[in-house]
Amino acid sequence: MALKERISKEAILEAAEKVFSEKGFHDAKMYKIAEIANVSVGSIYRFFDSKEELYSNVLKRKLEKLEKKVKRAVKGKEPEEALKAYIETATKFFKEEERFFSLFLKEVSTIAEADKERFNISKWYEKYLKGLSKIVERGIESGVFKEVDPKVAVFTLSGAIRNLIYAKFRGMLKLSLEEIKDNLVEIVLSGIKKEGD
């Protein structure tokens, strides 16, 4: 039972990701998700209270995947290398998950303001970036980085990546992802590093 349950839930999340990615939040139909997941509509509601909660869970699942990848990539590295690794990992992740990426861009807006708190997406984002800012803090402590605000540094990086990927997908940037990444490292990392290093 518990296994069967987990399988169903997984199937639902899988199907939901597919449908939300293809149709966007509003045009995704619950019955279509149920159909693809091979369960009844009612069963979705055993696991998720509402369409919005389902949506939020799809999102969370993806974000946690990114988080895990970034953590692994960063682990044990010196601040500078860690930041490079973060940039590389996040960039690659968005590239790999193009379908998901449009979903991510949409997240901020589709769900009614009130529900967003409930879903704690921004809570997750805060925690995730706090982790990253630790890297910057360490860099400052060890004298490799300038005395910039670590959080600002990290929000800058995160916003830059997001925007660059967005631009790349919209065809506004002709550079390869590799080149974009290198440029970003050049700009932001050397901006953070102490001069003369």
Partner DNA sequence: AATGAATGAGGATTCATTCAT
Partner DNA sequence: CATGAATGAATCCTCATTCAT
* Residues of this chain that bind its own copies (CB under 8 A): 24, 26-27, 102, 105-110, 112-113, 122, 125-126, 129, 146, 148-149, 151-153, 155-164, 166-167, 170, 172-173, 175, 179-180, 183-184, 186-192, 195-196
Secondary structure element (H or E) that encloses residue 150, with its range:
helix 150-169
Nearer to DNA, 5 or 98 (CB): 5
Q: What is the CA 134 to chain-centroid distance, rounded?
A: 18
Question: Which residues inside 99-158 make contact with DNA, applying CB under 7 A?
Answer: none
What's the angle, vertex CA 109, arms to CA 105 and CA 112, rounded to 5?
Answer: 145
Among 52, 80, 88, 107, binds DNA (CB under 7 A): 52
Tokens 């001069």, located at residue: 195
Measured CA distances, 174 to 106, 167, 179 (Å): 24, 9, 10
Nearer to its own copies, 1 or 113 (CB): 113
Partner that binds at residue 43, options DNA, its own copies, none, CB closer than 5 to 8 Å by kind: DNA
